[in-house]
Amino acid sequence: MSTESLFQPLKIGRYTLAHRVVMAPLTRMRATPGVNAPNALNAEYYGQRASKGGLIICEASPVVASGTAGPNVPGIYSDAQIAGWKLVTDAIHAKGGIAFLQLWHGGRISHSSLQPDGGVPQSASDIPPSGGMVLGADFKPHPFETPRSLRTDEIPALVAAYGQAAKNAVAAGFDGIEIHGANGYLLEQFLQSRTNKRTDSYGGGIENRARLMLEATKAAADAIGADRVGIRLSPYGRANDSGEDDPMPLYSYVIGELNKMGLAYLHLIEPRASGAGQREVDHQDVPSGCETVRPLWKGALITAGNFKSENAAATVAKGHADAIAFGRFFIANPDLPELIRRNAEFRPYDRSTFYGGDARGYTDYAPLSAAAG
């Protein structure tokens, strides 16, 4: 099948993409220890995957130190981190690419060893994830701890942190930011009824549970312009013990409110790929996220989840989404857009090298397209 649909220009906010093959945000845990700042190796990695007019959404970066959800993940709350990210954005821009940064708070998906005060992680309510483990500062798996519920008077500072993080990202050379509202992290912990048992203005009905996500998004939009802000959602997601029994009333409301902000894009995780960062998954008999959301969302729509060249091109050709984000295959194929354009085979990825480590499985993948001729 032709992949031509993926190689048409696309306007997202104030930018025009040259093609519709997007690099999804991918946690790799290779920031400089201690300061959690990007470094020259990270810049090399992103520069290898940049292309002219191509969008790279750089990996999830905590907006505050207490939002850290893994060892050696880069943040966007310190001067050292801003300087480190500048290395990355310079490398992406040198190839003519467009760079967004995903803003993150892990909430209960964290560990006391990752917290700046050694305390327990924060969440909407004091409900721990059911089962599973989290990587601590020692890169070893630890059982999840029971989080503490954020106090109502702590929330304004958290909202402000999203606005400041957006400003920091622009100072680091990013073209825009993406709010991480998916995969069972803090904003989704507030959003979903299974993790939010609050009785204040941030809990209860749909409007209250959505309040923090909408306030954080608005803070970022007010700080740098809504046309430089995207958001990622996973309405049917199961990652990190997330999920809503009947997600559409909740997410229809959220998407309707986000529509009013004039954001650059909405980025979905397809339900068939929920939790893919943690293991190989291919959930069966699940709805199409983009087909469900497309009638609700007025702007540019990006979707991600177990796509290969053919179904990615078909999804865009049918109008179900405007662009396709690739994650794991971008790891092993730095020249992925060119491979897709040629309908060439993808090199398989090595899951054992995803998190932490050095250049192996990170920057040592040579482009395949040059060899293909």
Residues assigned a catalytic role: 185
The answer to whether the Cα torsion of 27, 19, 228, 255 is positive or negative is negative
- Distance in angstroms (rounded) separating the CA atoms of residues 288 and 97: 29
- Which pair of structure tokens corresponds to residue 189? 């912990």
Residue count of the chain, please give it. Answer: 373
The dihedrals phi and psi of 154, each to the nearest 5 degrees, come to -90, -15
Q: Give the residue carrying structure tokens 């990190």.
A: 240
Contact 43, 91 (CB under 8 A): yes
The whole-angstrom separation of Cα 12 and Cα 34 is 36
Could you give the angle at the alpha carbon of 298 between the alpha carbons of 293 and 300, nearest 5°? Answer: 85
Residues with Cβ < 8 Å from 297, sequence gap 6 or more?
Answer: 255, 258, 259, 266
| E-strand stretches of 234-280 | 265-269
Where do we find the tokens 């209860």? 204
Q: Report whether 203 contacts 193 (CB < 8 A).
A: no
CA 268 to CA 270: how far, in whole Å? 6
Nearest 5°: the CA angle 79, 81, 84 is: 110
Q: Any residues with CB less than 8 A from the CB of 93 and at least 6 apart, and which?
A: 50, 99, 173
Q: Which two tokens stand for residue 87?
A: 């290395």
Burial class, 279, CB count within 10 angstroms (exposed 0-12 / middle 13-18 / buried 19+): exposed
25 burial type by CB count under 10 A (0-12 exposed, 13-18 middle, 19+ buried):
buried
**Cα 109 from Cα 129, distance rounded (Å):** 8
What number of other Cβ atoms are within 10 A of residue 328's Cβ?
Answer: 20
